[in-house]
Amino acid sequence: MDVVKRKPYFKIMFFILIVLNLYVEVNTLSYSSTQVKPMVTLEEKIWIAGDGDVSHYRIPLLTYTPQKNLLAMAEARKYDTSDAGSKFLAIRRSNDKGYSWKPQQFIENDGSIFDGISLGSVVVDDELGNIFIVFSRCNHYEKCNISSLYYVKSEDDGYTWNKPVNMSVQIGTKAFAAGPGYGIQLKNSKYKGRLLVCGHGTLEGDGMFCLISDDHGNKWRYGGMLKSIPYNKPKVSGDFIPDECQPLEMPDGTVIVNIRNQGKYHCHCRIIAKSADGGDTFLLDDVYFDENLIDPTVAAGALIQNGVMFFSNPMSTTHRVNMTLHWSHDFGKTWNYTLNIWPNPSGYSTMTAIPGLEDSVYILYEKGIVATYESLSFVKISLYP
């Protein structure tokens, strides 16, 4: 009799548990997409000018790794702040989500070559678990006349790196400066698995150009581009000059590229280009200017996390100051939210997030008191209160 009496009770409890579980799932999804309230919960300077007998550190790159760790990369400029000077490719690692960092390693050294290493993009192949760092040499044509593009690859979560591979054998020697930022592996379209790295050219032959690999980085080719106007001609202020850039993949598989507006054409703001074919083409009809993202011409960070689009840059029309995080709930149609990270000199920035850990995004940016190149600072942004 006791068993018979308890059956309805168990059925009712089981039904209640199902309802509660559905309620939690629905509210968790709503919470993730609409209740983002970013706040800085950690900041640390992980490179400071003069560290390791290096003059300055610039051009921050930041990525997650296949084993859910973090890697930070930078140009270690040996003697001064010059873009064209001799450099190391510096890298630091965090195995605890940015709370501590291993000592830096120099994984490339251009010796005393003038116009040496220029970073660059980092791209993770999630399908095979490999990491690529793309960099160039002689990108400024100062005291050298042949530009070349390389990558180094890690197959063990970034602990060791293979010897550099010269990509120019496949794509030619047109000057191509990747990023700076990260490349992407497409996941939401028929081009699933494709690696896409976007960058820019020289100032005269400038524009946004993308490289594509459909075989996990063994072969590369040029894909879509958005050339400057006038192309391969001397430039003046006000010309259309797409420059440093960050690609993103939208949930529907569309690729968008957030681009530095070097000539301040139309506005002191960002250029946005779109591709419906996995980065193979970018039509002029789909190019627009995001006037809400005011910008002093700089490399900026962009990221999509939990259905929210994020953007980081020095929020100013004229000076590299006021590092700010922006976010949008409609994938960049409107930007109604900002968080100030640093009000003083601040320059290039980049962003990443660790797949599966959806409560945070991470920024690495150039930070200073007097000048932007005094340090590279790592920031953890918690997304939910």
Among residues 107, 46, 124, 114, which one has the least CA distance to residue 79? Answer: 114
The token duo for 353 is 């997030």
Neighbour order of strands in the sheet with 117-125: 165-166, 148-154, 130-137, 117-125, 181-182
Residue 280 appears among annotated catalytic residues? no
Residue 83 appears among annotated catalytic residues? yes
Measured CA to CA in angstroms, residue 88 lies from 104, 106, 109, 145 at distances of 11, 6, 5, 21
The token duo for 381 is 């942004």
Catalytic residue among 151, 182, 348, 362: 348
Residue 366 appears among annotated catalytic residues? yes
CA distance 319 to 220: 37
CA distance 230 to 184: 29
CA distance 106 to 129: 22
CA distance 291 to 268: 8
Catalytic residue among 244, 366, 373, 374: 366
Measured CA to CA in angstroms, residue 381 lies from 36, 86, 326 at distances of 11, 34, 12
Q: Is the dihedral of CA 121, 94, 349, 106 positive or negative?
A: negative
State the burial class of residue 375 (Cβ atoms within 10 Å of its Cβ: 0-12, 13-18, 19+): buried
Catalytic residue among 43, 44, 51, 83: 83
- ∠ Cα 65 176 326 (to 5°): 55
The catalytic residue positions are: 83, 348, 366
